[in-house]
A and B are shown apart, each in its own frame.
Chain A
Amino acid sequence: MKFLAYAARRLAASLPTLLILLAGLFVLLQFAPGDTVDALMAQAGGGDAVMAAELRRFYGLDLSVPERLAAYLWRLVRLDLGFSAIYNKPVATVILERLTPTLLLMASSLSLAFAAGMVLGVLAARRVNGWPDTVISTLGLIFYATPSFWFGLMGIVVFAVKLAWLPPGGYGTVGAGYAGLRLMLDIAWHLILPTVTLALIFLAIYLRIMRAAMLEVLNLDFVRAARAKGLSETRVLVRHVLRNALLPMVTLIGLQAGTMLGGSVVVESVFSLPGLGRLAYESVVQRDLNTLLGIVFVSAILVIVVNFVVDLLYAKLDPRITATG
């Protein structure tokens, strides 16, 4: 219970930080050359100054910066993210429509990176400096150095173009009209390549951390005690070492949540997935600053929530934390 209070306090402490951050970004965005109306006019193929002034009044762009900042923060408190002139919809609606693919992609990549990183890290640590360790560690280094968008493109060339095993992109077969289980399978089918692409860099990090944590724990006294009791090597590894070595891995989930969101911008662009990351890219290109700020807000919230969950998970894994509060 004490720990829950601690986690809640951390959650509460992150909210003012978030507000300061958004206020700073809002002011920053005022320096941007050209506003939404300029972009709209350019899209419509030009227009006269009277129309521009009228549009600016309609979107509230004719007010002074402090007035708009105050209005913006007040709307934010009510969870109103404003209106996207490009999509002609409230920003919240635009973002909600795009949230599912990103969440699916992140969850599956995280699971893949975590599971594969754990297994490979354990394998590498079991035979330190033996050939499996060398191979796995080298692979980890190479994965870490691979630009994810490039890996995605090469994946498309090999698995979609040459072998024709997987679809080259998209979030479902266009015009197939699937429903229910069939639809879910279709989406999963389309998410295989993006998931592997996004997971790669994190897999490298997880495997390195897992290996180091295993080595660290393997030298501790209680492991020697467990061996002395006559437990089998597998039992020692799984029941005693693994549980303790998992703690830094869990911490890493919280630290990497933001990086993963950033990575999904590129991966979603490569595989033309209609997700939040692609929306961020599009709103930069289209100068849709309201939407961009909305995405920043939602990503920050997402990172904060993930960290809250990690805090809770940590307490579950390590009872000592709850005991000391």
Chain B
Amino acid sequence: MLVIGLGVLGIGVAVALILAAFNQNLMYFYSPSEVARGEAPGNRAFRLGGMVVKGSVQRDPQDLTVRFAVTDFAQQRTVTYKGILPDLFREGQGIVAIGQLDPGGVFVASEVLAKHDENYMPPEVAQALKDGKAQAGMKP
């Protein structure tokens, strides 16, 4: 009984230590602030996450190239991407882009994923919240 208890305890501690060691690698994406502080890898691909800045999306009329900025409300980073964006991609939406920084500090994405938040509500309620009129049983 004692052996099993100690075994479980030991493995629990081992898992905790492994998780602590891998903490950085489990981070799915870096924020623009972390990139600005130079914490993101410079020479290989990484993921950049943040909100698409309102009014920043520019589409190239010739091809599928899109240029936009992502923010964590402290820092911004310009992203370029050539390809088809997910349905949820829009200004003000959280996204995760996979790619690399070019020498000019622009993030060149090879893939863009949309991240939705934990809020669910009917469109009318969302509109009402936007207009600041009603709370209608929802916390914003």
Q: Do A and B come from one complex?
A: no
Spell out B's residues near A (CB within 8 Å).
none
